[in-house]
Structures are given as C-alpha cells and as structure tokens.
Amino acid sequence: MPEVSDTLPVATIPPVTEVPAPAIRLELGERLQSLLSPKELQSEDLDTVQEFIERGGRLMAIDYTKLPPEEKQEGFRKAREYLNQPMHSVVAGVSVENPDRVYHHPNPNDPAETFAPINPLPRECVEEVMDIAMDEERCPTWDGQENFTERQKVIDQFIASVYQDRATLAGLMALCQGKTGFEVYRDMQELFDFWREYREVQEVMRYNESLLRSNGDTTLEYRPLDGVVGIWQPFNFSCIGAGDTMGALLMGNSVVIHTSARNVGTYKWLYDKLLEAGVPPERVQFVIPHDDPDPAKIDKSMSEALAAHPYMQLIQFTGSHKVAKDLHKIQAQKVQDPEGIGRLDYKLQAEAGGYNPFVITGLPDGAMKPLHAFLVAGGHEDDEPTAEAWDEFFARLEQEGGTLQNLLNAAVDSVTGLQAHKCSSCKEFIVAVDEREFDGLSLWNAAMLKLLITERLKRVKIGPAEGGEAEMGSLIDQKMHNSVRTSLMQIVQEGGVPLTAATIEEAMDAFVGLPHAMVPVLYEVPQGNLDTMDKVEVFAPVVRWNEVKGINAALCRANDLEYALTATVVAPTESEAKWLRSQMPQGVVYVSSDDGKIDGCTGAPAPQIPFGGSAKSGTGSAYRPGNSRTPLAFAQEVSFPRVSRGNWGKGLHPSPTGDVLDGVFRRDPEGVAVWVRENVKVMVGGGGLEPPTAGL
C-alpha cells in the first residue's frame, strides 16, 4: 500500500468561469488517522507485537537461510528439542497415550533422524472427543457474539507469540515438511497474512448489512454452527491448517483438529501456542491419525469414525481427491441416516488436488531472440550444446533478465516448488503449435522452448533443505517416493518418454544419502496418448510436455483436465492471455503481460487473489482462504429486524454506512483520497468543510 500522509491533497472542481480554484487539503481527524495501519513494528516484545496486529500492521515472515547463523541454529535447536518429545492427541487439555500404535515420522531430508514417537488417538476415544466438543456448558469469557472481541484478542496473542518464536517455526517446517528457506517464508507469510485478514471479518459483516438497504433497521448475525467443525489439516501448508482453525474459532465454534500424520510436529506446536494464548481447551481438540510406512497397514478407523459422528457438522478439508470423495460420501450418508432427523446442513468444504496447466500459445515479439542466438548463431543448430555452454547461457540469461528468464523462473517454481507437494503445481505444459505460426508457436520455436525448459530443470539444485543451498529438497517420506516411482513406471509403460532423466532409476536414485530425493521429471508422449495416467495428479515434480495443434486445441485440453484449480497462460499479448483465461474454468489463472512478465501457476498470495477451485479440485466455496470473508464459512447467517416493521424508515438505529466507509478507508486510504478528489465538490470556509455544500 502506498505511504499516506496525515493530510491528503484534494482537487476542487473548476468553477464555471474555467479559472482554476486554489487547491485545498483534506485534513484527517484524529479518528481517521488512528485507522491507518502502522508500517513498521517498533519492538518485538509481546505487547507491542499484539498492538501492531490489532492496528492492522503486517507481520513479516523469515527465510531461515537469510537469518544470522546463530539465530538459525537456535531456531533449529528448539525445533529439534520440541520434536524429540513424544507427540500425543489432546482432549480437553489432557494428552492421550496409545503406546501400542506409536509411529515415527522422519526428517524428509535425513530419514535417519526419526524424532520421538507419535501417539495416534485410539478409535475408542472418538465418542469422548465429540461429547467434550459438544458440551453445552457455556464458557462465559469465550462463547457468544458478545465475546467476539475477546476471541479476536486471544488469537492476536497467539499470532504474536508465533511471530516472536518464528525461528523455531521455521525449523519445524524444515524438519517436518522438508521446506527450503523460501518455501518456509511463503508458508509463514501466508499464516500471518491470513490472520491479518480473518480478524477483520466484522468489516464484511457490516458491508453485508449495508446491502440490506435498511439503514440499520434490519441486520444480519453470524452465529457458530450447531455442531462441531472438523479441520482436516494438510501436511504441506501449515498456514492452511492453522488458518482454518483460527477462522472457525474466531466465529465461536467448537473445533476438532484432525491433524496430518505427516506434519504432526508443526501443527502440535501451533496448537500448544493456541492453548497458551487462552483458547479454552474444551473448545479445541487435537487429534492425531494413525500412520505406517506400509500404506496397507494404516488404520483409518479412528478418522472414519470421527468424520461419521453425527455431531460433526462441517468438515473443512484440504488434501487428496480420493479422501475428499470419501468425506463427501460420509457427510451425505448422515443426511440420509434413518435414525437422524434428516438435517440438510451437514457440509464438506474441500480443496482437493489439481492437474494444473501451463498454457503457452506464443511469446511477445522478440522474446525468443536470445535462445535463437545461442542455438543458431552459436553454432548449435545441428549439434546439442555442451553442458558448459548451457551453464554459460543460463548465467547470462539470469544476469540480463527478460521474458525467457521470467518464463524459466515461473516454470521452475511451478514444477519444483516444495518438491511439487502442492495441489497448485504445474502438471502439464500445453503448447499450441502451428507450422505457419499464425495459430501458435512454430514447431522450431516449440522444440527450442522444450529444450530450454528441459535443460533448466536438469539444473535445479537438489539437496538437504536445512543446508540452505538447495532449490528443492527431498519428498516428504518413503511412501511418497515409492508412489512416485510406481507412477513413473506406469507413465513410461503407457508411452511416456522422460526428457530430464534417461531412466526412472536415474530420476529416483540419483542422490546418495538422500533416499527420498528425486530429479524433476519432464516427459512427453510422442505417440498417441496416455491411458490410465492421463490427467492423473502425481504429487511430485512430474510434468508433461504436450504440443497440440493450434490455440483452440490448447484451450480444449486445458478445459478437459477434470481438475479446475490453477493455471498459467502465456500469449503474445496480454489481451490474448486475458481472453484465454476468460475461457478457462480454473479458479486461479495467471496471465502474461505485454512487457514479458510471467507468473507460475502455483500459489495465490493473500488476500489479493483468493485460492480455490471446482470440479475434482474442490467444492467451489465462495469463502476462499486468505481474505476477510473466509471466517464466514464457519458461521450460519441469520437475519432479524432491529425494530418492528411499523417503525422502519424512522432512523431509530444508526446506518452501517459509516462503518463500511471506515473499513474502505482503512484498507485503501489513497484510493479514497483519489475518489474524493475526483468526485466531491468542497468549499473552503471557516477553516474546514462547510456542510451541506461540501458534499461530505
């Protein structure tokens, strides 16, 4: 947001005589000045951080590779100390033992480091969990709409405490999720930004009330759900699992966290912080599911019983398409249960995977010149350039910048970010080709781009994330590694040809000492198409190069992927890219610009571009994560009049418009100043604005 001074210049509307009137300044009163968010955190003591949060300040995350060495080491030391304590489910603040079913989850980048045992919740404890979660005994300092501000303050304190100990959180994300410093920064920043938006949900409530056009005579209330909210946390993004929990708690719900077996440590640490901040233990339960290195031995009975319990009204899920389907069926069965009352408001809100395209129909004029010069003028038109020649070319391209470098940055991030353990990762480059170059890239240009991206993916730096030199770490665990190997074998059997590795063994077994690591695999299918592996999401850096005949074929392919989550469109002009996006179903699509800016298909910064999808990717909720509307997903909306209908229109209750304008000003003071300057006629007199002719 641009810096805004306490006095904003406002232009007057010229008088009829066309003689310019003297400029005046709109001086902000103390109340409006107090609404402006602080730009910098002045101190890191808890009270100062909490006040900064309350005033709308933006906390900044860290990349642990950029910390002073001693601060990084201390963060990882504290993270290891925490992870080497046994992990338990927690019910009403009490840890639950399950020694017969404990398991370990290793450091993805060093499987020999297994940490302390993890105790999953026994199946027989589900009834107790749900009874406690539905306990009707009221918590006088937490429950009810009158305690909204108290809940807000408690979660403010939670975030302030997390911020203070962010080096430990960074260590936990690296050791539990295998995240590089940059991916830790992304995840942590989203966590801070999510809460910055969620805590302002009352502004959305007031705006919704203003849409009633009742001038305050009627209103809307947002109450907690009648039943329990279950948060099924994903292993890959702690900001999502924690963000959903914060949103549900803020709206006054009783929450059961079904955490990820692959990321227990990070989530348990965050849960502990919630209790320390003051969330009542009877309002949030922490449940650990069972896990096993052998997928066939995983006991899912506790998780299934928890989801199927009649008290579980809403399941907020982020994870695989398969599990989302199972949960969808469970919620539907509750509606049809002959022993139930047939209530229709059992809900599943799901984000569930993506097969995301990177569509290329052309590049801006001149974008290919550096590559042409390297391959043709450099004498490599007929012979493959040497590895050294490619290294020199990439170094020069990175130094000079431009469209091709932007394309490579976007492609590498989309394919390899977080080892592609993202539902938003790129799974297919869809390239429109046309021999005449009227309806896509020429065959020669497409071949050059394929070679360029292949060679760049071969050079992705892979290694232990904690060391700080890697662009990509190891896959999350051996199960994932085995699954990816099986998928690659099937792709090759069905006609796929790897481009970045000669064999599957070279892709999966190239790193001594990193048994879970792999090479990013770009492949093509020269003849025909894949059978069972077509449009299958492999949750790892495995991506297809698919050349199709013309732009319409590219668009048809992008619309026929069954998933509809994210995409990137690269076209010769920005207007073409925008038109293509308008024809695509994906929930988030990035477009290239006329000046060569290109964004990858992965991620969706909050709150600017809310994340979510439909079809096989999700339930298409209007309350997407990362903006101030999101907490309303965990509420039921009820309406009622503040006064009897006979007294409507008499101004007996203040209009919500003033509160709405306050919210707009707080978010975009510069925009409000521009609007006033362009639309409001003011008159100077008596040292201020003269109502009513001032028009304010």
pLDDT digits (tens, 9 = 90+) for 251-262: 999 999 999 999
Q: What residues have CB less than 8 Å from 78, skipping those under 6 apart? A: 165, 167, 168, 171
Give the containing element (helix H, strand E) for 251: none
Q: Mean pLDDT over residues 534-553, rounded?
A: 97
Q: Which of 515, 443, 507, 518 shows the shortest CA–CA distance to 478?
A: 515
Q: Mean pLDDT over residues 479-503, rounded?
A: 97
* Topology, domain 46-352+625-635: Aldehyde Dehydrogenase; Chain A, domain 1 (3.40.605)
pLDDT of residue 316: 97
pLDDT of residue 681: 75
pLDDT of residue 475: 96
Cis bond upstream, residue 692 (ω within 30): yes
Confidence of residue 687 (pLDDT cuts 50, 70, 90): very low
Question: Strand pairing of 588-591 and 684-685?
Answer: unpaired
Counting residues of the chain whose pLDDT is more than 90, the rounded percentage is 79
Confidence of residue 671 (pLDDT cuts 50, 70, 90): confident
Q: Say if residue 18's pLDDT is above 50.
A: no
8 Å CB contact between 519 and 507: yes
**How far apart are alpha carbons 13 and 18 in whole angstroms?**
10
**How far apart are alpha carbons 601 and 520 in whole angstroms?**
17
Mean pLDDT for the chain overall: 91
Q: Say if residue 64's pLDDT is above 70.
A: yes
Q: Say if residue 552's pLDDT is above 50.
A: yes
pLDDT digit string, tens, across residues 84-141: 999 999 999 999 999 999 999 999 999 999 999 999 999 999 999 999 999 888 899 9
User: What are phi and psi for residue 534, nearest 5 degrees?
Assistant: -70, 130
**Threshold 0.85, pTM exceeds:** yes
pLDDT digit string, tens, across residues 145-196: 999 999 999 999 999 999 999 999 999 999 999 999 999 999 999 999 999 9
Range among 216-220, 497-501, 513-517 rated most confident:
497-501
Q: Mean pLDDT over residues 447-452, rounded?
A: 96
pLDDT of residue 10: 33
Q: What residues have CB less than 8 Å from 308, skipping those under 6 apart? A: 330, 333, 334
pLDDT of residue 19: 43
Long-range contacts of 334-337 (CB under 8 A, 24+ apart): 334/308, 334/310, 337/310
8 Å CB contact between 231 and 248: yes
Q: Mean pLDDT over residues 512-524, rounded?
A: 95
* Topology, domain 356-615: Aldehyde Dehydrogenase; Chain A, domain 2 (3.40.309)
Instruction: Find the Cα–Cα–Cα–Cα dihedral 75, 81, 86, 90, rounded to 10°.
Output: -40
**How distant is the alpha carbon of residue 589 from its chain centre?**
14
- Segments making up each domain of the chain, as ranges: 1-28+656-696, 46-352+625-635, 356-615
Q: Which of 152, 270, 316, 243 shows the shortest CA–CA distance to 626?
A: 243
Q: What is the CA radius of gyration of the chain?
A: 28
pLDDT of residue 379: 61
Q: Say if residue 600's pLDDT is above 80.
A: yes
Q: Mean pLDDT over residues 35-53, rounded?
A: 91
pLDDT digit string, tens, across residues 350-390: 999 999 999 999 999 999 999 999 998 766 556 789 999 99
More confident residue, 229 or 44: 229
Q: Mean pLDDT over residues 206-235, rounded?
A: 95
pLDDT of residue 22: 45
Residue that has been written with the tokens 């004029």 in this structure = 365
Give the containing element (helix H, strand E) for 569: strand 566-570
8 Å CB contact between 531 and 493: no
8 Å CB contact between 69 and 100: no
pLDDT digit string, tens, across residues 74-91: 999 999 999 999 999 999
Residues paired with 636 in a beta bridge:
223
How many of the other CB atoms lie within 10 Å of CB of 105?
26
Q: Say if residue 12's pLDDT is above 80.
A: no
**How far apart are alpha carbons 314 and 336 in whole angstroms?**
16
pLDDT of residue 25: 58
